[in-house]
Structure 1
Amino acid sequence: MDTSKKIADKVYTLFSSYGIRSISMDDIASDLRISKKTIYQFYSNKDSLVETFVDTAIAENIFRCKSLIAKSDDAIIELYFLLVNVMELYNILNPAIVYDLEKNHELAYEKLKGHKAMFIHQTVKANIARGVKTGLYRNDFDMDVITRFFLESLAIISNSGIFLPANHKIKPTDEVFACLISGIATITGIEVVNAYKNQRGIMLLSNYEEMPFWDH
C-alpha cells in the first residue's frame, strides 16, 4: 500500500472514531510513526485530509448503494438496505462531525450536503418510484416529501441514544425501517414486508454484499 493510501486509511479510522477536532496532525503522524513532513508531501493541510475522509465515506456509500440496486429482488428489500446504507453513513459522519465540517471545513461540508441532496435523495426516490410501478407502494403521496421524511427520520435516530438495543427483542432500527416501509406500502407490499419479517425477523446483515438478503 502506498504512503498516501496509508495516511488516508489512518485518517479515516481516527476521524470516524474520535472526531475531527480532537485529532491533530501530530496525532496522525505519531499513530503512523512517520513525520508530519511526510504527511505534507501528500496532503497540504488538515483541510485536505478532512476532504479525503469525507470523499472516502461518500464513495463507500455510493458503491454500496449501486451494488445493492444491481442485485435487489424487489423494491422493498432494496429500500430496507438503502436505509441501512444511509444509516451507516450517518453513523460515520455523525452530528458532531457534521457540525465540525460546517464550522471549520466548508468544502468538505458542501460535498456532504451535495451527496445527501443529490445522490441519496435521488436513489431513495427512484426506489419509491420503482415500488409504485410494481404495485408494492401506494401512489397517493408526494415522493419528494416522503423521501425527505425517510432521510430525516434516519438522521434523528442516528447516534442519538434514543434506543438501547439490549432492551428490545428486535433491533430498534429494524422496527423503524419496517414501519417506514409499511407506511407507504400497498396491501401487497405489506404482505411482502410481513413475509420478510416472519422469515427470521428483519436483520441487519453486516456482510450483505455477498449474501442473499433476508432469506439467508
Structure 2
Amino acid sequence: MKEKIIERANELFLNLGFKSVTMDDLASEMGISKKTIYAHFQNKTKLVEATTDYLFCTICDGIDTILEEKKEPIEELYAIKAFLIEHLKDEKTSPQYQLQKYYPKIHDILKKKQFEVMQECVIENLQRGIEKGVFRTGIDVEITSRLYFIGMMGIKDQDMFPVQRYPMSKLMADYLEYHVRGIATEKGLHILNKLINQ
C-alpha cells in the first residue's frame, strides 16, 4: 500500500503541484481513508520526501539504462532529455519551483543529490565526446559540467521562465542545443543538426 500511495502522490504532485494537493485529495483519488495514508506517512512533508526520493530513483534508473546503451555522446544527451520530458509530465506546475518554495529543506537535499549524479554523468559524457571528436578538446570538463547543471536548474526558475509562456519541453530542448553548440566540433554540429531535424 505504501508504494501505491507514493506512486499516486507522485502523479498528483507532478500534475497539480506539491502545494495544491492535500492529503484529502490523495485519499479521495485513491478511494482510501486519510487514516490509511497517515499509517504510512506521519505528515504531508514525509510524503513529499518519500515521493521526491521515489522520483529521483526512478529517473536515475532510467538514465542508467540509457548510459548502459553507450550511445554516441550527443545522441545520449538527447535520449536523456526525451526520457526526462516523458517522465516529468512536462512539469505543468513546475514541481521543482514549488518544492523550493514550500519544502526548502527537501529541495536542498534533492538538489545536492541531483548534482552528484548529474556531475558524474555529464563529465563522463564530455570526456567521451572529446575522445570521439564531437566535443572540442580545449573545454574544461569540470567547469562545463557545472555550467550545464546550473543552466538545467536555472530554466526551472518560474520568475525567469513562467511555465505559461515557456513550456518545459521547449526550454529543455533549447537549452540542450545551446549547451551542445557551445562545445561541439564540426563533426558534433553535424550530428546535432541531424538530431534537431529528425
Aligned to 2:96: 94
Matching of residues 112-151 of structure 1 within 5 Å: 112-151=110-149
| Structure 2 residue ranges without an equivalent (≥5) | none
- Where structure 1 has 5 or more consecutive residues not aligned to the other structure, the ranges are 166-170, 203-216
> For the residues of structure 2 that align with 1:145 and 1:111, how far apart are their CA atoms?
22
Contact 2:96 2:107 in 1 (8 A): no
Question: CA–CA distance in 1 between the matches of 2:195 and 2:133?
Answer: 17
Q: In the alignment, which residue of structure 2 is the partner of 1:174?
A: 173
Q: Closer, same or farther in 2 for the Cα pair 1:23/1:176, shift >3 Å?
A: closer
1:175 offset after TM fit, Å?
A: 4.1
Aligned residue number for residue 37 of structure 1:
35
Deviation sequence 1:95-148 (CA, Å, 0-9, x none): 12222220xxx2x33431222220012111211111112221112122122122
Match of 2:154 in 1: 156
Structure 1 match to 2:8: 10
Alignment deviations for residues 67-87 of structure 1 (CA, whole Å, 9 cap, x no partner): 111114211111223344566
Larger Rg computed on CA atoms:
1
**Matched-pair identity in %:** 26
1:31-78 Cα offsets, whole Å, 9 max, x none, are 222222211222222222111110121012101211111114211111
Q: Tell me the distance in 1 between the aligned counterparts of 2:83 and 2:142.
A: 19
Q: Secondary structure at the match of 2:103?
A: helix
Deviation track 1:185-212 (CA, whole Å, cap 9, x = no partner) reads: 1222222223333xxx25xxxxxxxxxx
Distance 1:121 1:46, change over 3 A: same
Q: Which residue of 2 aligns with 1:189?
A: 188
Partners of 1:113 and 1:174 in 2: how far apart?
21
Q: Distance in 2 between matches of 1:157 and 1:109?
A: 16
Contact 1:75 1:128 in 2 (8 A): yes
Alignment RMSD, CA only?
2.6
DSSP 3-state at the match of 1:179 = helix
TM-score when normalising by structure 2: 0.80
TM-score, normalised by the number of residues in structure 1? 0.74
Structure 1 stretches of 4+ moved >6 Å:
none
